[in-house]
């Protein structure tokens, strides 16, 4: 039994719990609702200039992607909050680790299985929203592959923290821990944006510092910045304009963050009494 076997079993467990079926149904409903709203606003709206139509198309798509990003965070927590803690509490973990399987293989295997599943879901939903926007309005955002890849990375950050929390917290405490942590960096992100708009460097630095705790929100802002047309970035108009744009170094930090937190999860789990 190896890491890939554990990953496969994790995927099968998600299917057994009908998680895949539920995500499929709700994902279709979400995209359908977005399509109806996008069509009604785009077809019945009155636009004085071509630029206004492009701005509205971009804002509507970013709204859909923002909602998908938030739902992806919720899904990442729901899928992983008990993947370690739940098995420990039920006694299933004791049976699993007595087999010829190292503890690090259990943690990495479960992380890999959920990461692949979450990445596929987020990519399909995001691509479906973009396809809807393109069919209805002909609008196709800039840097689309990079934007979707960053959205997936944002979900993997939350997923990894949730798995790490499960190595030393029970299921309920882990869920509270991850959601409160995400809420903290969410507020920190808005502090950074508002402070940057107001020219308050001290508060901007505070928001940036908070984002280091969990850079998922910063990664989303980087994704939304890349997806926006160049002229909208320069105008700084619209509810999704990023005033303080995370640098490419944030992406590098996030990748390292995932690796370090996953390594910490392995270390803590190896030292835990089951």
pLDDT score, position 76: 94
Residue 150: strand, helix, or coil:
helix
Question: Are 241 and 59 a contacting pair, CB within 8 Å?
Answer: no
Measured CA to CA in angstroms, residue 199 lies from 217, 218, 224, 236, 254 at distances of 21, 19, 21, 14, 26
pLDDT in tens, 180-217: 999 999 999 888 888 887 888 898 889 889 999 999 99
pLDDT score, position 234: 58
Nearest alpha carbon to residue 243 among 213, 203, 270, 274: 203
Q: Which residue has the tokens 């190292």?
A: 102
pLDDT score, position 236: 55
Distance, in Å, from the CA atom of 120 to the CA atom of 35, rounded to the nearest integer, reads 21
CB atoms within 10 A of CB 223: 28
pLDDT score, position 194: 85
CB atoms within 10 A of CB 126: 23
Residue 127: CB partners within 8 Å, gap ≥ 6?
148
CB atoms within 10 A of CB 65: 26
CB atoms within 10 A of CB 70: 13
Distance, in Å, from the CA atom of 14 to the CA atom of 81, rounded to the nearest integer, reads 13
Residues with pLDDT less than 70, the chain: 1, 45-52, 90-99, 230-243, 274
pLDDT score, position 46: 65
> 128 is written with which tokens?
């479906």
Instruction: Tell me, letter by letter, the H, E, C secondary structure of 24-83.
Output: HHHHHHHHHHHHHHHHHHHHHCCCCCHHHHHHHHHHHHHHHHHHHHHHHHHHHHHHHCCC
Nearest alpha carbon to residue 111 among 179, 180, 161: 161
């Amino acid at each position: 039994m190896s890491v890939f076997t554990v990953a496969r079993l994790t995927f099968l467990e998600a299917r057994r719990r009908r998680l895949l079926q539920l995500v499929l149904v709700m994902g279709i409903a979400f995209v359908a609702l977005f399509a109806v709203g996008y069509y009604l606003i785009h077809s019945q709206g009155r636009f004085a200039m071509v630029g206004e139509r492009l701005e509205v198309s971009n804002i509507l798509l970013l709204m859909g992607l923002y909602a998908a990003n938030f739902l992806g965070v919720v899904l990442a927590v729901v899928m992983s909050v008990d993947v370690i803690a739940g098995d420990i509490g039920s006694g299933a973990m004791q049976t699993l680790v007595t087999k010829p399987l190292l503890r690090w293989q259990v943690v990495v295997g479960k992380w890999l299985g959920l990461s692949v599943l979450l990445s596929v879901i987020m990519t399909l939903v995001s691509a479906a929203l973009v396809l809807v926007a393109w069919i209805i309005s002909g609008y196709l955002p800039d840097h689309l592959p990079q934007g979707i890849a960053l959205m997936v990375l944002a979900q993997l950050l939350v997923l990894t923290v949730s798995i790490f929390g499960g190595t030393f917290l029970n299921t309920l405490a882990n869920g509270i821990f991850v959601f409160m942590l995400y809420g903290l960096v969410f507020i920190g992100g808005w502090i950074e944006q508002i402070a940057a708009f107001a020219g308050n460097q001290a508060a901007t630095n505070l928001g940036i510092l908070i984002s280091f705790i969990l850079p998922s929100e910063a990664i989303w802002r980087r994704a939304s910045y890349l997806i926006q047309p160049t002229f909208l970035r320069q105008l700084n108009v619209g509810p999704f304009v990023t005033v303080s744009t995370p640098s490419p170094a944030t992406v590098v930090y996030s990748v390292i963050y995932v690796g370090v937190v996953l390594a910490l999860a392995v270390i803590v789990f190896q030292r835990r009494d089951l």
